[in-house]
A and B are shown apart, each in its own frame.
Chain A
Amino acid sequence: MIAVNQKKSSMWLAQSLRLLHHELRRGELTIIFLAIVLAVATVFSLTGFSGQIKHAIVANSTNTIGADRVLRLSTEVDKSFIDKSQAMSLNHARKIETESMAFAGDNMLLSEIDAVSETYPLRGELRIKTALTQENSVVVNAPKVGTVWVEPSVLSRLDVNIGDIIEIGVAPLTIAGIVTDIPDRSYRAFIAGPTVILNIADMPKTELIQPGSRMTYKYLFAGETDDIEAFEDWVKPQINEAQRWYDAKAAQNRLSRILDTAEKFLSLASMLGIVLAAVAVAVASRRYGQRHQSTVSIFKAMGASISHVKKLYCLHWTLLSCLSIATGLAVGYGLMLLGVNAIASYLSLADAPLTFTPFLTAVFTGLLCAVAFAIHPISVLVNSSPLSVIRGFSQQKVARFGWHQVPPLLALFILLFLFSQDAIMSAALLFGGIVVSFILLLFGRGLMSAGRSVGTKAGKSWHLALANLKRRASENSVQLVSFTIAIKLLLLITVMKSSILSEWEQQFPEDTPNHYLINISEHEIQPLQQFVDENNVANQGFYKVYRGRLAAINGEKTIREEDDSEQEQEQEQEQNAESASTEKSTEKSTEEKTEQSAGRRGAGRELGLTWRDELSPGNEVIEGQWWQLDDTKPQVSIESSMAERLEIALGDSLTFTLGSDEFTVPVTSIRKVNWQSRQLNFIMVFNRSVLEQYPTTAISAWSVSDQDRDMVYRFMANYPTVTLMDFAAIMAQLNNIIEQVSVAIQLILILVVLAGSLVLIAQVQASMEERERELAILRTLGARGKLLRNSVLYEFVALGAIAGLMASIGMEIAVYILQSQVFEMAGSFHFQYWLVGIGAGALFVGLIGMLSCWRLLNLSSVTLIRRTM
């Protein structure tokens, strides 16, 4: 009995293996195999790669803040803090961060200036090389007085070498080494330029610090845990909302949150490709089910039990899944290594261990694709009636809507949830995806129908092609949707790279500022004013900037509104954008969460304050009145969106702190400001009497023409403490970011194209028998080879062209949204790219279609007729 059982089990095993072996050799399972490999490889490489990056940046680096705790503020801290820390036997270090010019001969370069004290860093390692050829970097503290360490790009961009002298502000300093590792490096999107590290003792010599200069002071503390915590308890109650006290974990949290967001975005975008791969599995397994219907019926007619057939196909499918998933993992690992290699020069991932998470996620994705999308056709297959051997085999009629669609939809939801960890978002994406697909489907069908009627007049080949296209409309819709998305991504990348930014730049009037000057001290204003007047440099005048904090509204104290890390994020953004008075900072702040807690919400940061006698151009008073010149009563005008956000009305009194001073003024006007104008604009503008008494620096914005550029730069070299920001450099950074985003989109694009091609090929294969029959009939009726070939070719060309057309329309909508919402500019059409979209679609789909029909088209008519008759 046991022997019989063993024999039985080995029998179905052998049969199943035999089936799999033959199917693999005959290529029937290729599409399913490739689709699962694609999905698994994508997920594995993506999650593996981002996991390693995260680990390398966040977890692996022992310290990202160079200390146990950091106190960050915009002024020097009261000496009592340092005394207290020393009394509590803590070590401390100081760091001043700012942006300024580095000069070498005629060259100047906007740089990140880090002035550090001898004890910096307290935790982590600052590493430098003292020669370009040096193999290994060495661990150091602050550079010697009179010397600097620079990041490698400083050398090339200023055309200097180690040992040469560069000027920071007015201080000449010798380059003594190249920085390779900075423990508390910031990972911001916008960084003014490469970093220059100098000794904090040299800072006064640079004369960069003036009243009102924009500096970030960091106080680093380290010591025994108990001491640090005791100190923390002492510090925390004393800091205000514009000051920040944080530990490495808070910094890491913020960093990992940014990385998580990027990862989530990429994963969700790649879901597009994975969904398409799953669709390919569904289409191919349906065809597989149909083709195997006779096998199952014969098996059953020969006396095979249902359980035997079930075991046969379960094992068959399990083996296929395992093989595909294993291959996918191998390919994914390869891709991940490629990625790791590609960024090796930025970030070494050598020590980052590969965790189980990407492995599990990828295997799970593969299983979902293999099972959820194939379960219906396979279960229909297993239940094929043996009676079919007599009655003949009918095509599986699949109801459009029904229970069989539940597993795939559920699987999609699970996949989305797996990547987003957010049920509502997953449901929204799923629903949104269905709606978008449905719209594309309707639209595509409409176009296919329209093509059908046009086709009747367009010659025989076209007529046949478009008739076929329409008849297979529902099968074609899936390809249509996938290629539409692929082409749309392609167009979007192209337009984004080549058009949007340049169009945005072009829309500004000619004398729009393209240079921003910061840190202009009182005595420099007059000569600079004279210079611009003499040389007719279009400018906006000079604005004195005071750094102040909104401390109370109508006597009610303002409080911190968000948790620390987000606060920092906001400050970082603000720090980058605000000084040049570019537009984004306020926009960002208006987008912040509007969480209400006890107390009035404040601006959450220090604001750049200024005074004006007259309303600046581009500003418009929408409530109240601008003050008269002779009105010396203190008052403030507030920008409308900030007023709205903080619920400030006309007549409210606002209390500001400026250094150690505090003053309260009434709001007498609310202004609407065009933040998109690239002009200097301020949220809070006071009348002269409020601020004039305080010493500060000024900023200005100039429009420097190309021919004046050299002259302006030569002149500005006389004022080395003034920071000159070229808008083109900011644009270059923006371009750089777009470039990086494009790379990510390109990866998604490749994925979607691959998966879309798999769907197309699966679909063509599914229609192969029908196509053979049609061609045979046409052949019999005397159609010539050329006509048949063309009709097949045109069918795919038309499909691709329709996808291209829909993609072009989709691209215009997306670009319009970008233009109107992000860039706040007038929308424009990009008809030149429509041709690219339609052409690329027709060419690519035509090519893939022809390749997948190649065998069919090369069959001789005799074979064709014999095979189908």
Chain B
Amino acid sequence: MHVNSESILSVSSLTKSVQVEDKTLTLLQPLNLTVAAGESIAIVGSSGSGKTTLLSILAGLDLPSSGEVYLKNQPLHQFNEEQRSQVRAQHVGFIFQQFLLINSLTALENVMLPAELANLPDAQARGEALLEQVGLADRLDHYPSQLSGGEQQRVAIARAFISKPDILFADEPTGNLDSKTGQHITDLIFDLNAKEGTTLVLVTHDPKLAARCQRQVEMDSGILNEKASAVVAESVDVESTSANDVTPETSTSQVG
């Protein structure tokens, strides 16, 4: 097994299957993937292709059935829940499609949470600064329910960056937003990413969003394929017209 010192995330022979009643359902066929530090990579694919499953294993939320996952040289596949928690606290940031803010905490408190969990100093000052950067300086004490969808996702972005994660996982970050707000959020993610030098792993089926990443891989029925950048760029033009029509439908399908 090679561990590339340059890579922040490396996966080899990873599979995932689940038991549904008597049958074994294979979600991920054996796959390999290496992500270099500072790289931005998009995992694209249709619903049910296994891209979200892959993301949850890469981020240490779930375990593979077989194979190895190294994040910052740490063997996640050998770690238990507690150890993986620690890795997440130290190295990982998240942005979710449903924003997933804690309703009973204010915007600022939500942003501060990962910094507190990672025992970082100045959580409050950093939180305030980040909220200002995402344009919510006047919304520090608002609760999630008092914010619009776009605003909530901006809080989530601020939260994702507060602990200066080495790697940021974003799961359909614009999936629940209209295209204009989505565009704005995308800009924010990539700006902050560039500024902080964070590695970005993005799961989406929005080709336009995927196209902004340096690299794209495609999931299809649990099989991972590397996509050539040029091909991707082409397909963006073809699909971009229909992308907006698809968005509302896909967003409702993921509620719940």
The CA-CA distance from A204 to B85 in the complex, in Å, is: 97
CB neighbours (8 Å) of A295 from chain B are 102-104
- B24 at interface by CB-CB < 8 Å: no
Number of B positions contacting A (CB below 8 A): 36
A390 touches which one: B56, B81, B88, B117 (CB < 8 A)?
Answer: B56
CB neighbours (8 Å) of A297 from chain B are 100
**A299 and B117 within 8 A (CB):** yes
A22 touches which one: B87, B96, B105 (CB < 8 A)?
Answer: B105
CB neighbours (8 Å) of A7 from chain B are 119
Q: A11-B116, A304-B85 are in contact. Are A298 and B52 (CB under 8 A)?
A: no
1/0 per position for B102-135, CB-CB distance to A under 8 A?
1111100100011011110000000000000000
Between A7, A23, A294, A389, the greatest number of chain B beta carbons within 10 A of the residue's beta carbon is seen for: A389
Q: A301-B61, A301-B88, A389-B100 are in contact. Are A306 and B82 (CB under 8 A)?
A: yes
Number of A-B contacts (CB under 8 A): 89
1/0 per position for A1-40, CB-CB distance to B under 8 A?
0001001100100110011001100101000000000000
**B62 and A387 within 8 A (CB):** yes
Between B87, B90, B104, B118, the greatest number of chain A beta carbons within 10 A of the residue's beta carbon is seen for: B104
Residue of A nearest to B82 (CB): A305
Number of A positions contacting B (CB below 8 A): 35
1/0 per position for B217-256, CB-CB distance to A under 8 A?
0000000000000000000000000000000000010111
Residue of A nearest to B248 (CB): A869
The CA-CA distance from A559 to B101 in the complex, in Å, is: 81
CB neighbours (8 Å) of A92 from chain B are none
CB neighbours (8 Å) of B103 from chain A are 291, 294-295
- A804 at interface by CB-CB < 8 Å: no
B52 touches which one: A4, A8, A386, A390 (CB < 8 A)?
Answer: A390
**A303 and B96 within 8 A (CB):** no
- A470 at interface by CB-CB < 8 Å: no
**B86 and A303 within 8 A (CB):** yes
- A399 at interface by CB-CB < 8 Å: no
Residue of B nearest to A291 (CB): B103
- A605 at interface by CB-CB < 8 Å: no
The minimal Cβ–Cβ distance linking A3 to chain B, given in whole angstroms, is 10
The minimal Cβ–Cβ distance linking A745 to chain B, given in whole angstroms, is 41
* Main DSSP-derived SS at the A contact region: helix
CB neighbours (8 Å) of B117 from chain A are 299, 302-304, 308
CB neighbours (8 Å) of B104 from chain A are 19, 22-23, 26, 28, 295
The minimal Cβ–Cβ distance linking B253 to chain A, given in whole angstroms, is 11
**B171 and A390 within 8 A (CB):** yes
The minimal Cβ–Cβ distance linking B164 to chain A, given in whole angstroms, is 13
The CA-CA distance from A23 to B256 in the complex, in Å, is: 23
**A11 and B119 within 8 A (CB):** yes
The CA-CA distance from A298 to B105 in the complex, in Å, is: 12
The minimal Cβ–Cβ distance linking A822 to chain B, given in whole angstroms, is 55
CB neighbours (8 Å) of A8 from chain B are 119
**A299 and B100 within 8 A (CB):** no
The minimal Cβ–Cβ distance linking B248 to chain A, given in whole angstroms, is 10
**A301 and B116 within 8 A (CB):** no
Task: List 28 contacting pairs A-B, 8 Å CB cutoff, sorted by A.
Answer: A8-B119, A11-B116, A18-B105, A28-B104, A294-B100, A298-B100, A298-B102, A302-B113, A302-B114, A303-B86, A303-B87, A303-B89, A303-B90, A305-B82, A305-B85, A306-B81, A306-B85, A308-B117, A386-B88, A387-B61, A389-B61, A389-B96, A390-B56, A390-B61, A390-B96, A391-B56, A392-B254, A393-B256
User: Which residues of A are in contact with B by a Cβ distance under 8 Å?
Assistant: 4, 7-8, 11, 14-15, 18-19, 22-23, 26, 28, 291, 294-295, 297-308, 386-387, 389-393, 869
